[in-house]
Amino acid sequence: MNKKTVRDVDLRGKRVLMRVDFNVPMKDGAVADDQRIRASLPTIRYVLDQPASLVLMSHLGRPKGGPDPEFSLRPAAEALANLLGRPVTMAPGTVGTDVERFAAELRPGDVLMLENTRFEPGEEKNDRALASELAKLGDVFVNDAFGSAHRAHASTEGVARLLPAVAGFLMEAELEHLGAAVSNPPHPFVAILGGAKISDKIGVVRNLLAACDRLLVGGGMANTFLAAKGFDMQASLVEAASIQLAKLILVEAADKLILPTDAVVADKFEPDAKSQVVEVDQVPKGWRVLDIGPKTLDRFAAELKGAKLIVWNGPMGVFEMPRFAEGTIRLARVVAESGATTVIGGGDSASAVKQAGVADKMSHVSTGGGASLEFLEGRVLPGVAALQDR
């Protein structure tokens, strides 16, 4: 990785301003799922152990550019205090003289949580004045919020231009694992793409095709490719507007692209739909493809054998419905047991590997849905670009 991390700077006695992703689900004024908070603990503990003091900031939800108790980060601060076993002080706002006073009083080992960065209208505009207000609160900036790095906001990009800026451990892990997929991957490198639409991921398809040895395509995305090959996909999700592009990719990447040969089809888009396995050229009139079939799964498993790197984005079927989850769940197990370095990107894909019970067996499950997709497209993420080079 070519970006500096917390290990590359001397943090002893410093005040560290750190961007985390505490955009967690809340229920009845408490944190409903603390996974994202837990994910930031290694960096938080490392900073506090230097010892340094810590000022944490994050966005939460979509408040309308002003303070709103419903979107307060106080519950997140409480959850963090419990996890850390030390007090976390809640700041009286995001920036301003009162907040600066709190920050000035911090001693090494102390933690201050700022209010939701989106309480400030300048946050999403990457307002320079807001970034300088934030920069007053720390000596060094640490970004551990990979999931927000694709947005050039004041708390991600703006402030990084004003303070020495380095990556936290979570950010580092994301950049290393996703980075392996787009630059210098070990071979054989097999990529798996699925999910609902090609149009969302056309950049990812192209970028991965350039880097990988094989691209296995399932999910709704496969339907458009199959339609481009001339099969009648009936009521399946097919993006008519992407068929021309799919044809082009089929020609360019004929030797790399592997499509389903059989599928689980359903008479309606419902959990209790009638279903059967058919060849992809035999979709019954008015039915739709909702999962890959067993032959396809075997083929995909065979392609994954011996792979050194597997990158997977997008479920193989409508895994939210148990009847159409099998392709995704089984493939997750194959990937987990492949012995390859395994990298999972995408929000629904992360849920799917969790549902399959194999999230812990993957080398890396990305925490950043949109950010990981943009990264896999080969785009430069502004929040990453602003960090110091090594």
* Residue of 197, 247, 256, 361 with catalytic role: 197
Residues 71-110 that bind ligand ADP (CB under 6 A): none
User: Residue 164 or 347: which CB sits closer to Mg ion?
Assistant: 347
* 347 touching Mg ion, by CB under 5 A: yes
The answer to whether residue 62 is catalytic is no
Residues 295-314 that bind ligand ADP (CB under 6 A): 313-314
Find the shortest distance in angstroms from Cβ 326 to ligand ADP.
Answer: 12
Tokens of 340: 């390859």
Find the shortest distance in angstroms from Cβ 200 to ligand ADP.
Answer: 6
Show the site string, 140-159: x = touches ligand ADP by CB under 6 A, - = not: --------------------
Of all residues in this chain, which one has the CB nearest to Mg ion in the complex? 348
In the set 100, 200, 348, 377, which binds Mg ion (CB under 5 A)? Answer: 348
* Residue of 65, 93, 370, 378 with catalytic role: 370
Q: Give the integer Cα–Cα distance in Å for 42 and 8.
A: 16
* In the block, residue with structure tokens 């961007």: 19
Q: Give the integer Cα–Cα distance in Å for 278 and 264.
A: 7
Show the site string, 221-240: x = touches ligand ADP by CB under 6 A, - = not: ----------------x---
* Residue of 347, 354, 369, 378 with catalytic role: 347
The answer to whether residue 379 is catalytic is no
Q: What is the DSSP string of 232-266?
A: --TTS---GGGHHHHHHHHHHTTTTEE--SEEEEE
Find the shortest distance in angstroms from Cβ 327 to ligand ADP.
Answer: 9
In the set 78, 347, 378, 379, which binds ligand ADP (CB under 6 A)? Answer: 347
Residues 158-217 that bind ligand ADP (CB under 6 A): 194-196, 200
Q: Give the integer Cα–Cα distance in Å for 79 and 82.
A: 5
Give the count of beta carbons closer than 10 Å to the beta carbon of residue 182: 18
In the set 111, 171, 290, 386, which binds ligand ADP (CB under 6 A)? Answer: 290
* 348 touching ligand ADP, by CB under 6 A: yes
Cis check for the bond before 63: say yes or no (omega within 30 of 0).
no
Tokens of 331: 């493939």
Chain-centre distance for alpha carbon 332: 17
Q: Give the integer Cα–Cα distance in Å for 174 and 344.
A: 10
Alpha carbons within 13 A on the beta-carbon side of 291: 28
In the set 185, 260, 317, 382, which binds ligand ADP (CB under 6 A)? Answer: 317
In the set 318, 325, 376, 387, which binds ligand ADP (CB under 6 A)? Answer: 318
Residue closest to 148 by CA, chosen among 124, 179, 184: 124
The answer to whether residue 203 is catalytic is no
List, in order, residues 6 or more apart from 105 with CB less than 8 Å away.
none
Q: Give the integer Cα–Cα distance in Å for 256 and 189.
A: 11
Residues 356-385 that bind ligand ADP (CB under 6 A): 369
Instruction: Report H helices in the chain.
Output: 35-39, 41-49, 74-84, 97-104, 128-135, 169-182, 202-211, 219-228, 243-252, 294-304, 326-336, 347-355, 369-376, 382-385
Judged by CB under 6 A, how many residues of this single chain contact ligand ADP? 20
Find the shortest distance in angstroms from Cβ 293 to Mg ion.
Answer: 23
The answer to whether residue 197 is catalytic is yes
Interface residues toward Mg ion, by CB under 5 A? 347-348
Residues taking part in catalysis: 36, 197, 347, 370
Interface residues toward ligand ADP, by CB under 6 A? 194-196, 200, 219-220, 237, 289-290, 313-315, 317-318, 320, 346-349, 369
